[in-house]
Every structure is written in C-alpha cells, then in structure tokens.
C-alpha cells in the first residue's frame, strides 16, 4: 500500500506541477525542475496517505 500511494502521489503531483509551469509560460527546463519539486511533494503526500490508512 505504501509504495502504491507514493507512486500515485509522485505521478499526479509531478504532472500537476509540470502543467502549472507550462500554464505560466515557463521554459521546458523550468517546467522539468518544477515537476521534480512536485514529485518530491507527491512522495511526501503519498507517504502521509499510506500511513493514515495503515
């Protein structure tokens, strides 16, 4: 359950942060870096959600 929640959080948050960067007109590299930040946030959120349901 833990790995699944982290994977889902990483995927969703990484894409969401990429889309936000793209919508704001950031360059490819800036959107890529923002996606990395979103992925880290997604790992944290996925871990918190998995801990809640254990």
- With tokens 């790995």, the residue in question is 3
- Can you tell me the distance from the alpha carbon of 51 to that of 15, in angstroms, rounded to the nearest whole number? 23
pTM recorded for the entire structure: 0.87
* pLDDT (tens digit per residue) in 7-48: 999 999 999 999 999 999 999 999 999 999 999 999 999 999
Q: How confident is the model at residue 54 (pLDDT cuts 50, 70, 90)?
A: confident
Nearest CA-CA partner of 31 in 23, 22, 41, 42: 22
Q: Where are the domains of the chain?
A: 2-53
């Amino acid at each position: 359950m833990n790995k699944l929640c982290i994977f889902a959080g990483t995927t969703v948050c990484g894409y969401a942060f990429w889309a936000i960067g793209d919508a704001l007109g950031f360059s490819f590299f800036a959107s890529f870096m923002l996606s990395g930040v979103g992925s880290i946030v997604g790992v944290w959120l996925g871990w918190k959600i998995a801990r809640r349901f254990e």
